[in-house]
């Protein structure tokens, strides 16, 4: 924990009091938070994140956590002598990779986050998209970004068919904090690996969330010169797609974010998860962080 003993009591009180309007405004509102993957790097930041989630819950908001797991999946694949392959930001998922994805996400990453939140005094419940029949999916038909006549086969990568949020609602109406692994199920009960940002975006829409916060390992969306873009509209995003400024994992992230913004989620932010308590700063202060995604 950072040492704050040299901050004057008067300033501490002022800082706390300034959170009040946000606590009032967001009371009872759902906040969908994408965590994990590349933002889940160091133990101290993880503990800070868990504290932030518990604090939001205790002041009356409904945080829902969706987690990723890119680096953790990569490490597990490496132990099997495999290396991940990506096409347009999506992990090519053969049957063996799907098995690894399932046990790393649901078995390892999700349970780590559940444990941390519980340690911070919350009551987290881990779920995959199978639980409560939450995330129905089908095989993603990926069209090439440059050539609409070309398709890519990315294996068991899922495209969301529908989300039934009833299990999440039941949990959040009680005192629980749902922690969701982005795994969907198909018509034949087969498993699908779905990009966590896409799940977070869709879930925020279905839950009519107030905010969608995507924590990642960059300061936000960067322009060609590496400068932070604090604000992006749908049209600006199209231009960034077209000129190749956005690539890799940022492609599904922005797609998920824009989808949520267009579907009525009030505020959508891509922020730097490497900053301690980044989420708390975003939600409970008037300072702008990272990139805000706007529908128009």
Residues that bind ligand ADP (CB under 6 A): 37-39, 68, 70, 197, 216-218, 221-222, 245-250, 253
**Nearer Cβ to ligand ADP (171/240):** 240
Of ligand ADP, Mg ion, none, which one sits near residue 217, judging by CB under 5 to 8 A according to partner kind?
ligand ADP
**Nearer Cβ to Mg ion (122/249):** 249
Burial of residue 233 (CB within 10 Å: 0-12, 13-18, 19+) is: middle
Of ligand ADP, Mg ion, none, which one sits near residue 250, judging by CB under 5 to 8 A according to partner kind?
ligand ADP
In whole angstroms, the minimum distance from the beta carbon of 43 to Mg ion comes to: 21
Contact in structure between 181 and 128 (CB atoms under 8 Å): yes
**Nearer Cβ to ligand ADP (104/221):** 221
In the numeric block, which tokens belong to residue 39?
A: 């933002």
Give the max Cα distance, the chain: 64
In whole angstroms, the minimum distance from the beta carbon of 29 to Mg ion comes to: 25
Of Mg ion, ligand ADP, none, which one sits near residue 78, judging by CB under 5 to 8 A according to partner kind?
none
In the numeric block, which tokens belong to residue 161?
A: 């068919």
In the numeric block, which tokens belong to residue 292?
A: 């805000």
**Nearer Cβ to ligand ADP (37/155):** 37
In whole angstroms, the minimum distance from the beta carbon of 41 to ligand ADP comes to: 10
Q: Residue ranges of the alpha helices (H) in 59-189? A: 70-79, 95-102, 110-119, 166-173
In whole angstroms, the minimum distance from the beta carbon of 249 to Mg ion comes to: 3
In whole angstroms, the minimum distance from the beta carbon of 70 to ligand ADP comes to: 5
**Nearer Cβ to ligand ADP (254/284):** 254
Query: Beta strands 62-68 and 177-181: pairing type?
Result: parallel
Q: Which H helix or E strand runs over 101?
A: helix 95-102
Contact in structure between 267 and 210 (CB atoms under 8 Å): yes
CA distance 90 to 195: 7
Residue at token pair 């989300």: 163
Of ligand ADP, Mg ion, none, which one sits near residue 246, judging by CB under 5 to 8 A according to partner kind?
ligand ADP
Task: Name the site residues for Mg ion (rule: CB under 5 A).
Answer: 249
In whole angstroms, the minimum distance from the beta carbon of 12 to Mg ion comes to: 36
Q: Which H helix or E strand runs over 32?
A: strand 30-36
CA distance 257 to 234: 10
Nearest residue (beta carbon) to ligand ADP: 249
**Nearer Cβ to ligand ADP (66/114):** 66
């Amino acid at each position: 924990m950072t040492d704050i003993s040299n901050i004057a009591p008067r300033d501490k009180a002022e800082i706390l009091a300034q959170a009040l309007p946000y606590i009032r405004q967001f009371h009872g509102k759902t906040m969908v938070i994408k965590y994990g993957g590349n933002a889940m790097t160091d133990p101290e930041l993880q503990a800070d994140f868990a504290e932030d989630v518990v604090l939001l819950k205790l002041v009356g908001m409904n945080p829902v956590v969706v987690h990723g797991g890119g680096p953790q999946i990569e490490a597990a694949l490496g132990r099997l002598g495999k290396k991940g392959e990506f096409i347009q930001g999506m992990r090519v998922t053969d049957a063996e990779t799907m098995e690894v994805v399932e046990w790393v996400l649901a078995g390892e990453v999700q349970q780590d986050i559940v444990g941390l939140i519980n340690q911070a005094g919350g009551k987290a419940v881990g779920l995959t998209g199978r639980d409560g029949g939450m995330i129905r999916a089908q095989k993603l038909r990926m069209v090439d970004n440059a050539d609409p006549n070309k398709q890519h086969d990315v294996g068991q990568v899922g495209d969301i068919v529908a989300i039934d949020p009833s299990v999440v609602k039941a949990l959040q109406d009680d005192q629980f904090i749902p922690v969701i692994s982005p795994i969907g199920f198909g018509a034949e009960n087969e498993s699908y690996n779905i990009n966590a940002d896409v799940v977070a975006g869709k879930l925020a829409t279905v839950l009519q969330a107030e905010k969608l916060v995507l924590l990642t390992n960059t300061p936000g969306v960067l322009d060609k010169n590496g400068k932070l873009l604090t604000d992006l509209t749908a049209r600006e995003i199209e231009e960034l797609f077209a000129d190749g400024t956005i690539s890799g994992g940022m492609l599904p992230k922005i797609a998920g974010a824009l989808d949520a913004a267009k579907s009525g989620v009030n505020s959508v932010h891509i922020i730097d998860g490497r900053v301690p308590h980044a989420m708390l700063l975003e939600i409970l202060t008037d300072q702008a962080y990272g990139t805000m995604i706007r529908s128009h």
